[in-house]
Structure 1
Amino acid sequence: MKCIISVLCLILMIGEILTDNNNATQNSIGFPEIEENESLKNKDDRQPVFMPATCPPNELYYPGDQKDDWICDCRPAFLYHPGSDSCWSAYQRGPCASDEYITLPKDSVIPVCVKNPCGVDTYVIFNGRCERFGSITACAHLYPVVAAVGVNATTLEVDCVQLNLQSRFGEDRPMPPNQHLIPCQRGSKNSVNNKCDKKNN
């Protein structure tokens, strides 16, 4: 019985290897995500999809306005770094030296490495103190809203980010109040490569 199962597994693996990229995309398993930035939604309200077999790490498969128009790009609050051709979480080490983190200057589309004032990856200055990403105690003042220290996907600044405690399957996700929306996600691969809609910038 073990031999039959091993042979079946081998056949499935060979089939996957021989499948070309288009078929791999069509047959890939994807997990729907919610577009956090309302102004980036497409006209048919199609959602970005997490497809690890199709997109590189830290990227989602984003829909365009045409039925077959899809492209891989950075997740919200991640920055595209051309030197490494990868997306990295803002205010974390990424491709930088051990005492630095990656951030996006306000006057640039290319992220840079800067000295982390806290000296430890995943710690950032928030309200004058070094706080760890994901800390809910630093955002306790927002109770009953459950929030944690993170990167605001719209402004790319360290902030209290409302946590989504709901399932990704069929349930609405609440949007943080007073979120200022921008038409093109700063720091994304499309932004760096000048593929954003200029009239909305």
Structure 2
Amino acid sequence: MSTQRSDARRNYQRILEVAEAEVAAHGADASLEQIARTAGVGSATVRRHFPTRQALLTAVFRERIEHLIAYADGLRTADDSRAALLDWLRTLLDYAVSARGLADALTYEPPTDRPAPHSCGTTLESAGAPLLARAVHDKTVNPDVTPHDLITLTVGIALATEHHASPTTEATHLLHLLTTGLIPAPGA
């Protein structure tokens, strides 16, 4: 029995390593069949470990997501709550633009009474919620904004700019427009 478990662990690790390379090369649409072939396992083995494409993408980006969670946690006590929230969103956007497939992994169902507990988007909503709550409390962010809104907007910018010649520059510009608004300040 322990041999079977160690084989399963090795298969899981091998599939994940191959998936990381395939997603980096081909984005979120990387072929599950190609991942299975390259990993030397059957496609049923891939599906047993990762029942959905979303589950596979979540595993591929787990380390980046964990860094974003830790970064949000570190910003919770920043002096300027709005600046902290915007800093975290810029970091999220930079990751989503630079890690091919991450923006796709962050696309997820609209908020429901039963969100997927370990999805990338739900996890990031939870990480950003305290930053948003503090900025709302400080009256530096509109109280109607939700964590889901922020993730959706950030992912939308990443997806809209992924094929630009300079996606990071364009994405940063659009996030700036989003957060500063389109109307010039009085007297500008």
Whether TM exceeds 0.5 here: the answer is no
- Scaled by the length of structure 2, the TM-score of the pair is 0.28
Considering fraction of residues, name the structure with more helix: 2
- Scaled by the length of structure 1, the TM-score of the pair is 0.27
Considering fraction of residues, name the structure with more strand: 1
